[in-house]
Amino acid sequence: MIFTATADGWLDLGVRRVRCAVGKAGVKPAAEKREGDLASPAGVWPIRRLLYRPDRGPPPKTALPVEALTRDDGWCDAPDDADYNRPIKLPHPASFEKMWRDDGLYDLVVVLGHNDDPPKPHLGSCIFLHLAREGYAPTEGCVAVTRADLEELLAAAGPGDAVEIRQA
């Protein structure tokens, strides 16, 4: 199954469409995506796995691989680092995104297979499907939805499924 997110803020869950947030700079072709440009990359991105905060509840029901986050989990976003666009343990000498966040956005995180096989420097990192801010405020390049909508997607998703990000 492919779950499609569009630049105008909608995500197709198969049986219904729900609101979503995309990057502050909108959606751009993956070939033009650059680290830090605040755009979501257009394309079809395989769902790799679900990460979740175990202190904020059990993992949702899903057929996807599931991993519990720990306080020292991060994701490298430094294009010139050997760990670029890969999970890391903190502390880490290069720039990174903390996966254990206080704001709740990463209480549930679906890792998408953008620029990961293998990662190419500067083409974008940390592209996830995660929980939305209030009012669906734009992301830094990810797709974001409510917890209920993400749990619905996770219940329907399985190995081999993907998220498509479309410009229109």
SS3 annotation, 30-56: HHHCCCCCCCEEEEEEEEEEEEECHHH
How confident is the model over 9-55, as pLDDT tens digits?
Answer: 999 998 899 999 999 999 999 999 999 999 999 999 999 999 999 99
How confident is the model over 119-149, as pLDDT tens digits?
Answer: 999 999 999 999 999 999 999 999 999 999 9
User: In the numeric block, which tokens belong to residue 72?
Assistant: 């020292």
Residue ranges in 52-165 assigned as alpha helix (H):
147-156
Q: Contact at 8 Å (CB) between 166 and 6?
A: yes
Q: From the CB of residue 31, how many other CB atoms can be counted at a distance below 10 Å?
A: 9
Burial category of 143 from C-beta neighbours within 10 Å (exposed 0-12, middle 13-18, buried 19 and up) = buried
Query: 2-166: what fold?
Result: L,D-transpeptidase catalytic domain-like (2.40.440)
At residue 28's C-alpha, the angle toward residues 26 and 31, to 5°, is 155
User: In the numeric block, which tokens belong to residue 115?
Assistant: 């620029």
How confident is the model over 88-119, as pLDDT tens digits?
Answer: 999 999 999 999 999 999 999 999 999 999 99
